[in-house]
Each structure stands twice: as C-alpha cells, then as structure tokens.
A and B are shown apart, each in its own frame.
Chain A
Amino acid sequence: SAVISQKPSRDICQRGTSLTIQCQVDSQVTMMFWYRQQPGQSLTLIATANQGSEATYESGFVIDKFPISRPNLTFSTLTVSNMSPEDSSIYLCSVEYAEQFFGPGTRLTVL
C-alpha cells in the first residue's frame, strides 16, 4: 500500500492570495493526481502530474490558476492562485500504486 500525507490539513485564506498544498507519498510513483471536492460534491480531477514533465490539466482547469510541481517521484505540490470564495473546497492528491490511494485532503476556505 501507499501512505500519503498532505500539508496543510486545512487553511483559511483571504481572497486574492495563493496557497500551496504539499503531497508526500512513502513510495516512488510515476503519476500523482490532484482532485477537487467542492462542498457537498463529488471529486473532480484537476490534473495529472508526472515527474519530469508538465502536468496534464483536465477541461476547465488551467496552469495559471493551479500550477503544479513534481520535483521527484514521491512529492508534488498544487498551488491555488489568486483565490476566490469559489475555490473553497477539499483538495486531495492520489497515487496509483496497484490501486488508487488518496491523501487525507486539504480543506481550504477562502473568505
């Protein structure tokens, strides 16, 4: 199995600011995924991050708003830029390691 940690677990931010979320996994994995879960909603994939290449974004998500880094095989960051209240969500990272494992999520509230 893979154990995933995320930092921070929650944060409250002011509109217009940016927040970087970290995801650390205890095994080397090729692909890491970032999902958004808006309040009371399901999970939507934001992007797929491969080590050594640019992330691949899903329709409706752009790099300027959600820049992603993937410096090595165990770590990734997602930045939520120029935040607005509509960005208030839980952000989860996941990895494929025989099955898909999810991190505990970061609960972001934007005022």
Chain B
Amino acid sequence: AQTVTQSQPEMSVQEAETVTLSCTYDTSESNYYLFWYKQPPSRQMILVIRQEAYKQQNATENRFSVNFQKAAKSFSLKISDSQLGDTAMYFCAFMKPGAQKLVFGQGTRLTINP
C-alpha cells in the first residue's frame, strides 16, 4: 500500500517570502501521479499542481513549483512571493494510474503573515 508523509504539521512565513513544504511517499510503483491540494478555511479542496512520475521535468504553475526527486521519493512544493490568500492546509497526495483514488498525507497548515 502507498503511504504519503508530510513531516511539517504547521508552517508560518511573512508575506512575499518563499516557503517550501515537504512530502515523502512510499510506493513500489514505477508510474504514478503526485499532487498538491490546497484547502482554505472554506473547506474547498483546490488542486494546486500535479506531477507525472515519468516526467523528469518539475511541474510549475505560476508561483507554485515542485521539486520531484523520484529516487528519494520526495515531492516538495515551493511557493514563491507568498500571498495572504495562500493561507490554507496543504495536502500532498498520491495516485496510481487507473486507480483514480487519492492517498493523502497528513497535511501542513500554512499561515502567511502580513
């Protein structure tokens, strides 16, 4: 079974700073997908970024980028120029191709301070 671990329960940075959230996972699969989801206080889960394991290039979405290290089974999220609206719970998630179900990490509560 796959497991996803987020070792940082909480993080806090000042607005405009860069912050990196850590995620490690365990799997015997060679192909899979990794995701970062954001859950603001409204509870709505929002996909931030996704990475296919067969792609060596790290995914980037505007201020959000990942550092995907397949051999180390590490998938960290970097948020550049952080904004107050980035305050949320962030969940790392794993999915096997064809399974369509997500395995989530424990989450990291990120607070952006003005």
Q: Which residues of A contact B50 (CB under 8 A)?
A: 99
Given A42-B105, A45-B101: 7 more A-B contacts, CB < 8 Å = A33-B101, A41-B107, A42-B106, A42-B107, A43-B102, A99-B47, A101-B47
Contact yes or no, A43 B101, CB < 8 A: no
| Residue total for B at the interface (Cβ-Cβ under 8 A) | 17
| Residue total for A at the interface (Cβ-Cβ under 8 A) | 19
- Judged by a CB distance under 8 angstroms, whether B28 is at the interface is no
- Judged by a CB distance under 8 angstroms, whether B44 is at the interface is yes
- Judged by a CB distance under 8 angstroms, whether B62 is at the interface is no
Contact string, A8-52, partner B, CB cutoff 8 A, digits 1/0?
Answer: 000000000000000000000001010000000111110010000
- Shortest CB-to-CB span from A60 to chain B, Å, is 12
Interface residues of A (CB under 8 A from B): 31, 33, 41-45, 48, 90, 92, 94, 96, 99-102, 104-105, 107
Contact yes or no, A102 B45, CB < 8 A: yes
| Complexed CA–CA distance, A9 and B103 (Å) | 24
- Shortest CB-to-CB span from A27 to chain B, Å, is 15
Contact yes or no, B102 A31, CB < 8 A: no
Q: A42-B106, A42-B107, A99-B50 are in contact. Are A107 and B101 (CB under 8 A)?
A: no
| Complexed CA–CA distance, A102 and B95 (Å) | 15
Contact yes or no, A90 B106, CB < 8 A: no
